Amino acid sequence: MFDAAAVKRDFPILNQGGAPPLTFLDSAASSQKPQAVIDALVNYYTTINSNVHRGVYKLAVAADHAYDGTREHVARFINATSPDEIVFTRGTTEAINLVAATWGRTNLREGDLVVSTVMEHHSCFVPWQMIALEVGARIEAVRITESGELDQDHYRELLSQNPKVVAFTQVSNVLGTINPVKEMTAQAHAAGAVVCIDAAQSVPHMAVDVQDLDVDFLAFSAHKMLGPMGIGVLYGKRSVLESMPPYQGGGSMIRKVTLEKTTWADIPSRFEAGTPSVGDVVGLGAAIDYLQDLGYADIARHEHELAAAAIIRLSAIPGVTVYGPPADVARAGVVSFVVDGVHPHDVAALLDERGVAVRAGHHCAQPLMKALGVTATTRASFYVYNTIDDVDRLIEGVEYAQRVFA
């Protein structure tokens, strides 16, 4: 049995006491950090802090080992064929912007088609929209079905128009839908497209194998998977990364610079201009260790149990509408809902009075809000440290909000 209460004890921020105690249900925005990750950061800064890839002294060599060692760790974690396929970025947003600005600007031409979906977080849509606008390409978004899944007929119809790139999320940050990335990628490749996956909401919660999925690019953020803020990963297939020009110019990304011309470093350094956030990379490594110790199969089962309980109990409250796939299908632990007659922000504020932290708003997914016919939802998201008591607090809080507005 997954012991979430024991897991919770590893997270100092969740054990600060106070009244009412904190019920943290906003991990889809950013997760909390276990002591092991905090210790890894403190240990890095107290024992080996130094710039990387420059110094010959012992501290610098230790920092090099920590940084490049974590690159190897990340490569094994998502089953990349080589650490060279792992680029450290500030997060998912920067990773997708990197792909759109380098691969996109090199390969997209006027009249080309970019396929995305209506369920994207803005960070997997806006960078592609920007580059499409710049080069005169078209961008089309796959519709969703009533139950919040991608409309696969519409997807196939768009693939028949031979897009150059298909960019979509593995897990919706609003609906909790898990998209069939492997099947959709195979279809996109058959249509001649490159595939870029937003894995910000999948890698924290499920095992992701980039070779099995066969995606060309995949992006995720450390801060949603128990790691530090400001660090993330872009995975790119070696052949695709090697074909791409740099994203930013500066230190570390060059092979040779003369006043006339600069040549580029090999991958992945070509895409890591400037001093990287070495301590945060080390923290990401500790977060991966922590998640792997817990085990992804148990994590997914636990989160599904909590989400299913929340969906069933919220749906049973008159006047509450829950969005996304039903409780009994494979889905992520993200539950979005609307309470009739109470604005989602008021629901969130009233929950906060009782110590329950949830998110309210458009969740950086305005096209999805439009498709759902709402301006905002309230969202509860579950992670490894949540327990069934947290679902009780959520339900009690929603009923309280209804009473306040009755």
Residue 31 as a binder of ligand PMP (CB under 6 A): the answer is no
Choosing from 29, 135, 273, 364, the catalytic residue is: 364
Residue 198 as a binder of ligand PMP (CB under 6 A): the answer is yes
Binding flag, residue 173, ligand PMP (CB under 6 A): yes
Distances (CA, A) of 120 to 115, 136, 259, 261: 11, 21, 43, 39
User: Is the Cβ–Cβ distance between 173 and 121 less than 8 Å?
Assistant: yes
**Shortest reach from residue 220's CB to ligand PMP, in Å:** 8
Contacting residue, 123, 177, 269, 402, with ligand PMP by CB under 6 A: 123
Can residue 336 be called a binding residue for ligand PMP (CB under 6 A)?
A: no
Regarding 221 and contact with ligand PMP (CB under 6 A), the answer is: yes
Our CB check for ligand PMP shows the closer of 10 and 120 to be: 120
User: Among 73-81, 140-148, 198-206, 289-297, which window interacts with ligand PMP (CB under 6 A)?
Assistant: 198-206
Q: Which of 32, 97, 102, 169 binds ligand PMP (CB under 6 A)?
A: 169
Maximum Cα interatomic distance, the chain, rounded to a whole number of Å: 72
Query: How many C-beta atoms lie closer than 10 Å to residue 375's C-beta?
Result: 13
Instruction: Return the closest-CA partner of residue 336 out of 400, 380, 390.
Output: 380
- Four-point Cα dihedral 244, 249, 253, 254, nearest 10: 100
Q: Three-state DSSP class for 173?
A: coil
Angle at Cα 316 formed by Cα 310 and Cα 322, nearest 5°?
60
Contact between 93 and ligand PMP per CB under 6 A: yes
CA distance 304 to 394: 16
364 catalytic residue (yes or no): yes
User: Is the CB of residue 400 less than 8 Å from the CB of residue 350?
Assistant: yes
The residue written with tokens 């991608």 in the block is 150
Residue 92 interacts with ligand PMP (CB under 6 A): yes or no: yes
Q: Per CB under 6 A, which region of 104-112, 116-124, 158-166, 384-392 contacts ligand PMP? A: 116-124
Which residues in this chain contact ligand PMP in the complex, by CB under 6 A?
29, 91-93, 121, 123-124, 169, 173, 198, 200-201, 221, 223, 364
Residues marked as catalytic: 364
